[in-house]
Structure 1
Amino acid sequence: MSFVKSLAAAQYILSRCQETRDPAVTPMQLIKLVYIAHGVMLGRHGVPLLEETVEAWRYGPVIRSVYNSVRGFKSAPVTMVAGARPHHFSDAERAVMDHVVNTYGPHDAVVLSAATHKPGTPWSITWERFGQNSTISNDLIENFYRHLLAQPTHSSL
């Protein structure tokens, strides 16, 4: 099942945020952090973190299973990712998710959403070419994050 790893990644990121950064992670913030971790994994290692597709929704890139799992929290802090089961992540996957929590975790959902909506991002390219709810290709995400990670600051904010 492709969504199992997505939910596990969301729970891992949520737990790390709660432990180290911000216990009040909103659904939109968590969805963006999972997306960014997927992008950084592709950009650094050439392999996806998630086995599920990312879609270009009106408010940015969305992993459908993560959205469905946390949408009930609305704008309140997420306390847990419904349906998440323990998953054995590789050292590289954990390192990427930890990096994303440390780099992007301190930023609220509005900042993260704005960053993923900038012109030239995988979301904006997909939105313009294919429209709402289209799949954002991993190749597009990988190329964007590979270029981003080659920059001195390594940040899309």
Structure 2
Amino acid sequence: MAYAALTTAKYFLAIPDADSGELISNLKLQKLLYYAQGYHVALQGVSRPLFADKIYAWKHGPVVKTVYNHYSRYRDGALPAERLTTPLDSWTKSFLDEIYRSHGRFSAWALREMTHREPPWLKNYKPNVLDIEIPLSDLRAFFHQNVQK
């Protein structure tokens, strides 16, 4: 079952992380969503995405517009901690915890730079065009090779 991207985002914002030294901005959240979706479709296939919302190739990297718009009032500031109201199954929680462990330690700008070197964004980004979707098949092709390693 695919969750809403906002549910996934709220899960990341609900993870207590006083030791990281950096609060999560919308930029960082967008990149965490990209990595979560990428690894999820690599493991589960494009017919079973983590969330149904589309990811677009924007100037500063992959963006889930529904989540971006939800948190846009915070601009580049820290997003508030969230309380998860939609329950996630235990596999998904463990999966998202692992994504946060592996990628949450990076700053928003480091994650941005990482995505700018990866084929899903590179292949689909066009300057000054906001609505180019990064297809799940592109995510799977790239992340599947990382899962195999």
Q: Same fold (TM over 0.5)?
A: yes
Alpha-carbon distance in structure 2 between the residues aligned to 1:17 and 1:106: 13
Aligned counterpart, 1:108? 107
TM-score by length of 1: 0.81
Determine whether 1:121 maps to 2:119. yes
1:18 is matched with 17
Contact 1:32–1:61 (8 Å) recurs in 2: yes
In 2, Cα distance between equivalents of 1:139 and 1:62: 16
Letter in 1 for 2:13: L
Corresponding residue number in structure 1 for 2:79:
78
- Structure 1 residue 89: Cα displacement: 2.2
2:131 matched residue in structure 1: 133
CA deviation map 1:38-73 (0-9, x unaligned): 111111222211111111111111000110111211
2:56 aligns to what? 55
Corresponding letter in the other structure for 1:144:
F
Contact 2:40–2:50, Cα closer than 8 Å, also in 1: yes
**Distance 1:102-1:85 versus aligned 2 partners, 3 A rule:** closer
* Residues 124-153 of structure 1 deviation map (CA, whole Å, 9 limit, x = unaligned): 11125xx542111101111111111222xx
Aligned-pair CA distance for 1:122: 0.4
Q: What is the letter of the counterpart of residue 142 of structure 1?
A: R
RMSD (Å), alpha carbons: 2.2
* Rounded Cα–Cα distance in structure 2 between residues aligned with 1:57 and 1:102: 25
| Distance in 2 separating the partners of 1:105 and 1:17 | 12
CA-CA distance at 1:5 after TM superposition: 1.1
Question: 1:17 Cα shift?
Answer: 5.2
Shift of 1:90: 2.7
Structure 2 distance, partners of 1:38, 1:102, is: 15
- Give the partner amino acid of 1:6: A
Deviations 1:96-118 (A, max 9, x none): 21111101001111110111111
| Structure 1 consecutive aligned stretches of length 4 or more whose deviation exceeds 3 Å | 17-23
Residue identity over aligned pairs, in percent, reads 22
Return the offset for 1:23. Answer: 5.8
